[in-house]
Amino acid sequence: MSDIWAVVPAAGSGSRMAQSQSKQYLPLYGRSLLDWSVAALLIYRELRSCVVALPEADLSCEQPGFLKDARVRLCAGGASRAESVAAGVAALPAGDEDWVLVHDAARPCLAREELEALIKAVTDSGVGGLLATPVTDTLKRAGKNDRVSATLDRETIWSAQTPQMFRVGELRTALRQAQATGVTVTDEASAMEAAGFPVQLVRGAASNLKVTYGPDMQLAAFWLKELYPQLTDPAGRQT
């Protein structure tokens, strides 16, 4: 039986949020985005442990909330998301056949149902995969001076989310190859695809948004209230 582990890349600075505090530490209902994102993974009782990749300078700081959980370990992240993920995967005491869930610190609104759907789809089939949603907008390819050069067939286009779940050994190989060949990977799936591994899409939900720009905080607040009414109610909130 393969164990399931997690890595949370949280070593970015959130430059697009344009706030003095790094994005992963911004608070919603008394918890940081990072804390919500880690908590959403720890809901899965069989998770062996979760490595959180933080900016190196933050490792010596006192950690609040779920980062103090016995299943959470910290490591230093890198200069890119892919480097932070690679550092987190390297820090896992996991076997090659084990599974690892990689989940962005910037996605605090992951629901238990979607996490369980991903784990079930991947462990039932043995094929790694990711949560994703089919796009709903009509898609245009931009040409010179923002003139439309084509309309794309949206039937085949999905937006990638996290968590993404792969065999530890295969992900290590894929990340190493991407680094060696200089391929830019913005998620684990693209490293796996480039290395020739099959990747499946598992239908997720729009609520699992990535907080990227300022107004995304309001959307995340809305979805957290929907998903966790008790934890977001000031009267019943636990810290």
Footprint of Mg ion on this chain (CB under 5 A)? 12
CA dihedral (212, 215, 219, 222) positive or negative: positive
Q: Does 163 bind ligand CTP (CB under 6 A)?
A: no
Q: Does 210 bind ligand CTP (CB under 6 A)?
A: yes
The alpha-helical segments, DSSP class H, found in the chain are 33-42, 81-90, 112-125, 168-181, 188-194, 216-227, 229-232
Contact partner, 84, from Mg ion, ligand CTP, none, Cβ < 5-8 Å per class: ligand CTP
Among 1, 70, 79, 235, binds ligand CTP (CB under 6 A): 79
Cβ neighbors of 151 (< 8 A, separation 6 or more) are 138, 139, 140, 141
Q: Does 104 bind ligand CTP (CB under 6 A)?
A: yes
CB 24 to ligand CTP: min, Å: 5
Q: Cα(214)–Cα(194) distance, rounded to whole angstroms?
A: 33
Q: At what angle do helices 81-90 and 168-181 cross, to 10 degrees?
A: 140
Q: Cα(177)–Cα(71) distance, rounded to whole angstroms?
A: 30
Q: Cα(149)–Cα(144) distance, rounded to whole angstroms?
A: 8
Among 4, 5, 14, 111, binds ligand CTP (CB under 6 A): 14
- Pick the piece of the chain touching ligand CTP (CB under 6 A) from 77-85, 109-117, 119-127, 153-161: 77-85
CB 233 to ligand CTP: min, Å: 26
* CB closer to ligand CTP out of 11 and 121: 11
Among 80, 133, 179, 200, binds ligand CTP (CB under 6 A): 80
CB 12 to Mg ion: min, Å: 5
